[in-house]
Amino acid sequence: MTDPHPVPSSLPTVLIVGAGFGGLKAATALKHAPVRVVVVDRQNHHLFQPLLYQVASATLSPADIAAPIRHILRTQKNAEVVLGEVRAVDLAARRVDLADGTGLSYDFLILAAGSRSSYFGRKDWEGLAPGLKTLDDALEIRRRFLLTFERAEQEEDPDLRREWLTFVIVGGGPTGVELAGTLKEMARLSLPREFRRIRTDRARVILVEAGSSILANFGTGLSEKAVVELERIGVEVRLGQAITGIEARAVQLGGERIPTRTVIWAAGVAAVPLAASLGLEVDRIGRLLVEPDLSLPGHPDVFAIGDLAAFLHGSGGALPGVAPVAIQQGDCAANNIVATLGHRSRQAFRYRDKGSMATLGRGKAVAHIGHLSFTGYPAWLAWLFIHLMLLVDFRSRVFVFFEWLWAYLTTQPRARLILRNGPRPGAGEPSGKDA
């Protein structure tokens, strides 16, 4: 095994695995530190995941919410970027092995590789109900969603037509809620004039949540308010009902069988398998238990942050897998490395909750920020503004702003393209006859 990434300088190497919110923040926080920063990610881009559902719903293009990691770090002279997938970590030898057979050495390691969709051990559901974690996932959901209307338009049998026009979204967290709202709005507002035989506005969008409320973390009445708003635009919200089966043409919901061709999974995530592969203690969903300073027990040179870390030192269990936690932890881990190099003591991580918000379709949202809860148009405007400001670079902000303005004024989002449909005819294409 060769090492094609020799340390060119005598500076200690901080290796960061994953360029999501946490990893990228850690990298930029080390910009002026006396270290060499190496960021490794299996994608070439940082993804602004909170807007991923808008790529799935064809409002935004991938380039609107993603930027090459190299581009983001281009002026950070002490940073290098490696495109590669980490297969294993050798904690004793202080090196990670990549899928292509090469390896990377480190003095400090920050694990920030995030989470993936988890199907609670039901591997067979994975192919039937895509999750929404990557741009490829989003394009696949977009493709399936748009194709169902094409199939429905060509279907004569009213029962089969209803089957095509039924969408089941599993999981009532922010992703499931926002996806349900935006898909129903597309069927209701964007598509009707384009079809001659079907009433797209009658498409059923069913949001299934096994727990007793959607947006459970939002608290104080916002959950009930969100249900009211979703139902107002026609989303069917099923609370306290668990999916017990997913087939190619139906879901089983307790005793009820709902014929459908499209099931989207937003019900659960787990840490990437790399976390459990270390042989250290993990929680129920595979996240690494971390010390107050975010290092791994017994390994002060290794930190875990974001979705693959379980930070249990506050009140009320582990912190949720959201961007603000990852960002603040990335900053904390970077600062603790700098402190260690300067022979100063490390700080314990302390989370500052900035609030939560979710859209519920056109002009509607729920939000709580600090002690304030608000809903409707003001919450929606706040959501728009905050998400525009959080986008990682200026150019994304400009283009996303115009895309939103366009979609709002016309109800016609631009990106309604079915890709991967053409070049190799008949390859894995859902058809009206089989599946």
User: In 3-state terms, what secondary structure has residue 405?
Assistant: helix
Sites for its own copies among residues 4-23 (CB under 8 A)? 4-5
- The least distance separating its own copies from the CB of residue 231, rounded to whole angstroms, comes to 29
- The least distance separating its own copies from the CB of residue 406, rounded to whole angstroms, comes to 6
- The least distance separating its own copies from the CB of residue 173, rounded to whole angstroms, comes to 20
Interaction between residue 408 and its own copies (CB under 8 A): no
- Of residues 68 and 268, the one with the C-beta less far from its own copies: 68
Near its own copies by CB under 8 A: residue from 154, 212, 220, 347: 154
Cβ neighbours, 10 Å, residue 349: 25
Interaction between residue 411 and its own copies (CB under 8 A): no
Near its own copies by CB under 8 A: residue from 156, 159, 298, 352: 156
Q: What angle do CA 270, 272, 274 make, to 5 degrees?
A: 140
Catalytic one of 178, 209, 291, 403: 178
Contact 39, 27 (CB under 8 A): yes
Q: How many CA atoms lie within 13 A of 193 on its CB side?
A: 5
Contact 213, 223 (CB under 8 A): yes
One character per residue 126-145, x = contact with its own copies (rule: CB under 8 A): -------xxxxx-x------
Cα distance between residue 41 and residue 188, in whole Å: 39
Catalytic annotation present for 178: yes
Near its own copies by CB under 8 A: residue from 9, 244, 347, 431: 431
**DSSP letter string, 21-80:** HHHHHHHHHTTTSSSEEEEEESSSEEE-GGGHHHHHTTSS-HHHHEEEHHHHTTT-TTEE
Interaction between residue 412 and its own copies (CB under 8 A): yes
Interaction between residue 202 and its own copies (CB under 8 A): no
Q: What angle do CA 49, 72, 43 make, to 5 degrees?
A: 55
Interaction between residue 435 and its own copies (CB under 8 A): no
Helices (H) and strands (E) in the chain, counts: 13, 25
Contact 87, 99 (CB under 8 A): yes
Residues with a catalytic annotation lie at: 178
Contact residues toward its own copies (CB under 8 A) are 2, 4-5, 42-45, 61-64, 66-68, 70-71, 73-75, 80-85, 99-102, 133-137, 139, 146-147, 150, 153-156, 193-196, 395-396, 398-399, 402-403, 406, 410, 412, 414-423, 425-426, 431-433
